Chain A
Amino acid sequence: MNGSFMSGDPMSTVLFLTVALPGAGFLLLALSWLAGWEPPEKLVARVTGLIYTVAALCVLTGAWLMHAAQLPSLHADYGDWFRVGDYAFKFELYFDGVSLPLLGLTTVLTGLVAAFSRTYMHREPGFLRFFVLLHLFGFGATLGFAAGSFDLLVGGWELVGLSSVLLISYFFERPGPVTNALRVFATYRSADVGLLVGIFALHHFRHSAALPALDAHTLDPNQATIVGLLLLLAAMGKAAQIPFSGWLPRAMEGPTPSSAIFYGAISVHLGAYLLLRARPLLESSPVALGAVALVGLATALHGVFVGRVCPDAKTSLAYAAVTQLGLIFFEIAMGWTTLALLHILGHSTIRTLQFLRAPSMLHEYHRIHAASGGQVEAGGLSIEGILPFGLRRRLYWFAVDRAHLDRLLDSVAVRPLARLSAWLVRVEEQLTGGPAPAARAVVSAQSASPSAAAREEVDVLHD
């Protein structure tokens, strides 16, 4: 049986705290920063630790209460945010066997990363900024996982994207991180078009975007295909699937702990979560399901080959993550949702640990080398060994150039867009008879991104 409760009962209050606490943390730190007061590191760390400990306990308590009340899911409505005509933007949260484990994972991992960062970011000029953004991320992620409708999910989704981009450009005094953050931002925005249009389409076809009511029979196959493909586009952007995977290594510009929580753990899996939620809808569209499976498999293969040739720690981890994300997409397409959920949980945890350990890779490598008596095989051929030499070389370059995806995106998207905006600027200038400074800035930003494109290696080792 499905429970539907208004706010006020202990269960939904406890679960509400899961989302509210990181948000409160963000507000607290951001406001004190805005007021010109930089709280001491110790205080920031204590408050953060407290918030995520309590939030994790809230998830646990909520889940236990639900279990005790034998509720498989809980739909909690906390009232309307606003109302326009017939439409009401409800603040509704939805807890079930999918969102609760992910909420638990988010609060625990964010808390751990915060504990790690307290020392790792010690005396770093942007210590407070880092924690403010970490809280913003925590709020966005919990909101995204707990959202009871796609409308609300967008909010969390965008907050995660925003904090992700701001953390990539954490070292903003260097040009590399800023250029790469801009590129990631552009990728996110283009993919997010899919989410927004998809939700509009849902509202159009079904007059609601609430999660619990979503099932196969509400849409006809054509409608389901349209919505499904649009949501897939959004998920592909977030989860770095082909052809967007080029942003993931660029995102490694940020500090190591943020790489861990965003690109090893939570943020990239948000894309998979979206598909898990859209799964009932996908079921009525074989086309959309096929597309998900295809994208997933292609991405997994892509990640394997590119990851094999990466000579630096964080990039090779990034592509290892891409591979598993592709497999998760495939699992969702095949309908193995429990496996997909388990895969998300396990993969997030192991990657977080690996990313946090990345700076000690050299140390580790030497230790393994010594313990083996100097007999670590450098690597070797496996599947590609069966190819003739010429083809193998081509495959190697294909992998080193990351499947030429960035080149492809530059030529089919970035450059035409830059040309278009340059043309628009000219039109505007002719119409208004003067220069258009804002538009010009857009053009220069667009044209900067392909050229200064793949600088990420320069600084990836930095952290």
Chain B
Amino acid sequence: MKTAAHHADHGLAHTVEHLAHLLPAQGPIGVFIHHNTLHAFQHLPFDEAVQEAARLYGNEPYMTEAAYRRDFDRGRITAEDLDVVLGWEPDAEIVPFLLDRRALRRAVLLAPPALDDAAEISWWLAEGGVAPQRRHLFETCRRLFTVPQSADRNEADGPATPAAVRAVVDPLIIRLCGAFLDQGVAYWPMPDRQLGFLAAVRSLFETTRMVEPLPGLAAEMARQRRHQWTAIQTVEEMLRRLDIDVARQEQFLRQELLALGGWAGMFYRLQEEPYLAPHERVPCSLMEYLAVRLTLVAFAPRTSSAEVGQPEAMAERTALVNTTALFTAAEALGYGVADLEAFSRENRERFCREVLSFHPVERRRVWHIAYEYHHERDVLRPIAERLRGNRRRPVSGTPKAQVFFCIDEREESIRRHLEELDPQVETLGAAGFFGVAMDYAGIDDPHGVSLCPVVVKPQHAIREQPVAEHADLHERRRALRRLWSQFAQGAVKSSRTLWLGWISTAILGLFSMFPLLIRILAPRRYGQLMARLNDLFLPEPRTEVTLMRNDEHGHHLNEGLVLGFTVAEKVERVASVLAPAGLRTRFSRLVVVLGHGSTSLNNPHESAHDCGACGGRRGGPNARLFAAMANHPEVRLALRDRGIMIPADTWFVGGYHDTSSDEIDLYDLEAMPRAHDAELAELRATLDRARAANAHERARRFESADGAAGPKQGLEHVEGVWPLHQRRLRCRPARTDARAVSRPPLLSGVLRPWRRYARPVPDAPDVGRGAGLRGHQPGILLLLCGQPTLWLRHQAAAQHHGPGGRDGRPFQRSPHRTAVADGGDS
């Protein structure tokens, strides 16, 4: 008995674990970078993946037919593209000597789309002013074809939880989840939540003499508590109560988990990685979430009234839609009533089957492939051709200065401007954490955060601290900041309480007119004022980072981190950036390394706009640290063994580029040898011009910028202003129609805007289909830094298949990519 139960437990746990992969995988918003909605379907071919995901999640697998048709109208898809794509798929004869599958599909695709909503069709028939001969054709179709009357799409899923039950359960569980997972917004936290979700909900509801959210729930919660059921036992009990047998179990659990996928996903993410919670770590468990949810579902009152409508009405609607599809196909083929009547019974059936099997999703699939094919033909092949004749042009000479940027697409335009303004300056790309995965705390941070890709767990802690002579300044700053925080906290809380709120709103309330006026009407002034106040009261001390660790053991901080890096570790990290960039010998006297991030005020998704390679945070410290490492004499000595010869007169400078205000800060300039001053001044001037030009390019696209007349105005438009009402970040990247991964010289001259922005790929010839990349660290990073698949795909198309592809199909179709191959702005 016990073993049987144990097995069942194990099976259930396994099922839930399996289903958990369908849930959204992003963490709390502070570390949110991007979310791949298809991550659970990556093992499937693209079309299967999107269609399966659409079935499970209830989303759209492709763009709408109307969208594809719009692109058809503007020439982004042509009839020839459709022909080519239809030519790849097996043909079949439908009506001997008269009609085959390709002709049918071509006609259906090019004709106006069939109406596919029963109500719309009814209206069209009744009020649409249909011409008599068309109506006659429609009636003929209705008479001649026996269409299937059931939509077989979701039949396999079985009956879902009734909408009426969901309407009761969902708001309730949302409120409970919100209270449980709260990160300090609510002043009064949920009682008992440190015991877990299930225990907290039980303790909330088991009390008698309260208003029950659902009838019988209090008694049930008390019963569960008495029996001391674990989460998994509760789930089993509830499955039994709901009468769900083993065969339907997985499907039922999936529906219940996906019903509020975001909340369930957050429980799972925090169960797996509790440290992602920014302030309060509460013990999360997906099984407990499920236990609570199923208990609520089991006790939600079931209304007896019919849910969606009678089955006959459903069948009628389906029949109407199918008939319309047949009618539209017949019209598209130019068939009249006589032609249809002339079909034999067998042909009629085949025609009917064929038309209905080319349903909307199928049509959109073909449209989509045609779209991609068009893009391949127009964009990718010319590049591939070009690449062939263009291999390996040697790079020569030492540039005046070299500047490293992150491979983020928002850095592309400034790189372009920098190189245009001074061709003697070379720009290089690297993932924005510059090989330095660390747990970092700046002087103003309460504790360390991971500055590295989210999949990497940092092993090393780096702490910023004030230099000795500024220790006093730092103390003062800290005390003042603490005072401010107490004041701000009080301000936030006071207006929400009874007594303090009475005073603060009635007497002090009117004074908030001043911040309101200045922040809305003169946000730039406000920003300047705040900056000035900051400089006045909170001057920043000069700092250094605790970089050194000369013995192998170092200090152990909490959570198993070691402080700083040893020389060997530093060498490793510096080499991991310089070598792939192809920078071994030809160093300029000045190498600037710029991390990036972006500032905004009124946008909770802020971290999605910072550096993806730094875990959705700003990459300035990484760049600063990288420069310090590369300047280290012992490191340089050790790098010689690896063939990386950094000349003694080369100096690395770390810095930070803000992609929304286009400001560039350079760090630790006091440490730089004075001999570099002149070069630095010149480079700084060039950087300033480049960022102004970049701001101008961006500002031209902003309606609010009045077409920003010149670089100066452009910079004014973006610089240092974070208005309260700016909801969308001013991070609009350069327009990108296509991208490529390749060694930089290969693409130069192909198309003017096609300047490199990706990091150079290692020389290895086996780069193709992403496989070569994925093995390397850079490969992982490509996947992390947003829009990865386009890069991989173009790489694959260009290098592996070459023009024409291998089997006539465009290229290896990767399931995890953006839907449109040549999207506009990203």
Contacts and interface: CB of A to CB of B under 8 A. Distances in A.
B178 A320 contact: no
A347 B185 contact: no
B175 A353 contact: no
Given A311-B186, A372-B486, A394 B210 contact: yes
B498 A300 contact: yes
B277 to A, nearest CB: 12
Interface in B512-537: 512-513, 515-517, 519-521
Contact of B506 (A120, A347, A356, A364): A347
A362 B184 contact: no
A262 to B, nearest CB: 16
Contacts of A404: 211
Interface string A364-379: 1111111111111011
Interface in A376-401: 376, 378-381, 384, 389-390, 392-394, 396-401
Contacts of A317: 496
Interface string A305-349: 001111111001101100110010000000000010011011111
Contacts of B520: 112, 115-116, 356
A373 B185 contact: no
Contact of B482 (A352, A371, A380, A453): A371
Nearest to A324: B505
A136 B186 CA distance: 35
A359 interface: yes
Contact of B724 (A347, A357, A457): A357
Contacts of B179: 309, 311, 400
B495 A350 contact: yes
Interface stretch (B96-104, B166-174, B629-637): B166-174
B506 A342 contact: yes
A393 B191 contact: yes
A304 B505 contact: no
Given A339-B506, A343-B506, A347-B506, A365 B184 contact: yes
A353 B516 contact: yes
B516 A352 contact: yes
Interface stretch (B439-447, B619-627, B799-807): B439-447
B752 to A, nearest CB: 29
A440 interface: no
Interface in A60-81: none
B188 A397 contact: no
Given A112-B516, A112-B517, A122-B704, A346 B171 contact: no
A157 to B, nearest CB: 24
Contacts of A313: 185
Given A120-B725, A357-B724, A393-B207, A347 B516 contact: no
A310 B189 CA distance: 9
Contacts of B185: 310-313, 316, 361, 365
Contact of B30 (A354, A362, A376): A362
A408 to B, nearest CB: 9
Contacts of A394: 207, 209-210
Interface in B167-204: 167-168, 170-172, 174-176, 178-179, 181-182, 184-191, 203-204
A31 interface: no
Given A116-B724, A370-B446, A397 B210 contact: yes
A353 B526 CA distance: 15
Contact of B505 (A347, A362, A399, A401): A347
A360 interface: yes
B444 A323 contact: no
Contacts of A310: 185-186
B240 interface: no
Contact of B446 (A300, A360, A369): A369
Interface residues of B, number: 81
Contacts of B728: 122
A320 to B, nearest CB: 4
A112 B486 CA distance: 29
Given A300-B498, A354-B495, A455-B170, A397 B204 contact: yes
Nearest to A304: B498
Contact of A370 (B171, B444, B724): B444
A349 B510 contact: yes
Interface string B442-462: 001111000000000000000
A363 interface: yes
B602 A360 contact: yes
Nearest to B517: A112
B484 interface: yes
Contacts of A376: 184, 279, 485, 489
B170 A384 contact: no
Nearest to B604: A362
A346 B516 contact: no
B191 A392 contact: yes
B187 A380 contact: yes
Contacts of A455: 170-171
Given A360-B724, A393-B191, A349 B512 contact: yes
A350 B484 contact: no
A312 B178 contact: yes
Contact of B211 (A309, A319, A351, A407): A407
Interface in B126-177: 164, 167-168, 170-172, 174-176
A197 interface: no
B603 A359 contact: yes
A232 to B, nearest CB: 21
B703 interface: yes
B122 interface: no
A378 B482 CA distance: 16
A115 B521 CA distance: 7
Contacts of A345: 509-510
Nearest to B168: A451
Interface string A431-463: 000000000000000000001111101100100
Interface in B695-731: 703-704, 723-728
B92 interface: no
A371 B481 contact: yes
Interface string A123-147: 1000000000000000000000000
Contacts of A384: 188
B286 to A, nearest CB: 20
Contacts of A327: 498, 501-502
Contacts of A41: 703
A267 interface: no
A323 B178 CA distance: 22
Interface string B484-499: 1110110010011110
Contact of B279 (A119, A120, A369, A400): A369
A119 B726 contact: yes
A110 interface: no
B44 interface: no
A359 B727 contact: yes
A122 B601 CA distance: 17
B751 interface: no
A461 B178 CA distance: 11
B374 to A, nearest CB: 29
A351 B508 CA distance: 12
B478 interface: yes
A37 B504 CA distance: 46
Sorted from nearest, which 8 A-B pairs have the closest CB atoms? A346-B509, A374-B446, A371-B485, A311-B182, A372-B485, A454-B171, A320-B496, A343-B506
8 contacts: A323-B501, A353-B519, A367-B488, A370-B446, A372-B489, A379-B189, A380-B187, A384-B188
Interface of B: 29-30, 164, 167-168, 170-172, 174-176, 178-179, 181-182, 184-191, 203-205, 207, 209-211, 213, 278-280, 444-447, 478, 481-482, 484-486, 488-489, 492, 495-498, 501-502, 504-510, 512-513, 515-517, 519-521, 601-604, 606, 703-704, 723-728
Given A323-B496, A363-B601, A372-B481, 14 more contacts: A42-B703, A112-B517, A122-B728, A304-B498, A317-B496, A346-B508, A350-B495, A356-B516, A360-B601, A373-B482, A380-B187, A390-B207, A393-B204, A455-B170
